[in-house]
Homo-oligomer: A and B are copies of this chain.
Amino acid sequence: MAKTERALIVLAHPDPRSYTAALKDVAVKALRERGVEVMVSDLYAMGFDPVAGPGDVTERLSTENFNLALEQGHALEKGALAADIVAEQDKVRAADLVIFQFPMWWFGFPAILKGWIDRVLSYKFAYGVGQWWDKGPFADKKAMLAITTGTPAGAYAPDGRNGDIERILWSTEAGVLAICGFQVLPAFVAYGAPWIGDAGRAKQKEAYRALLSRVDEIEPKSFHALAEFGDDLRLKPEVEPRTAGQHRG
Contact = CB atoms under 8 A, between A and B. Distances in A.
Interface of A: 14-15, 17-18, 44, 50-54, 64-69, 105-112, 114-115, 117-118, 121, 132-133, 150-152, 154-155, 157-164, 167-168, 170-172, 174-176, 179, 224, 226, 229, 232-235, 241, 243-249
A117 B50 CA distance: 14
Nearest to A152: B233
Given A54-B14, A66-B14, A163-B246, A170 B168 contact: yes
Question: What does DSSP make chain A's interface, helix, strand, loop or mixed?
Answer: loop
A224 B249 CA distance: 23
22 contacts: A17-B65, A69-B150, A106-B114, A106-B118, A107-B172, A108-B109, A110-B114, A111-B112, A111-B114, A111-B118, A112-B115, A154-B234, A158-B247, A158-B248, A161-B234, A162-B179, A162-B233, A163-B175, A164-B245, A167-B171, A168-B170, A168-B171
Contacts of A247: 158-159, 164
A118 B14 CA distance: 12
Query: In this complex, which of A67, A132, A151 has the most chain B Cβ atoms within 10 angstroms of its Cβ?
Result: A67
Given A15-B65, A162-B233, 9 more contacts: A44-B51, A106-B121, A106-B175, A109-B114, A111-B112, A115-B115, A163-B170, A167-B244, A170-B171
Contacts of A174: 107, 162-163
What is the count of identical protomers in the complex? 2
A111 B115 contact: yes
Contact of A52 (B14, B121, B150): B14
A118 B133 contact: no
A25 to B, nearest CB: 16
B53 A14 contact: yes
Contacts of A235: 159-160
A216 B229 CA distance: 39
A174 B161 CA distance: 10
A44 B50 contact: no
Contacts of A53: 14, 44
A144 B13 CA distance: 29
Given A161-B233, A163-B246, A107 B175 contact: yes
Given A121-B106, A168-B170, A170-B168, A249 B159 contact: yes
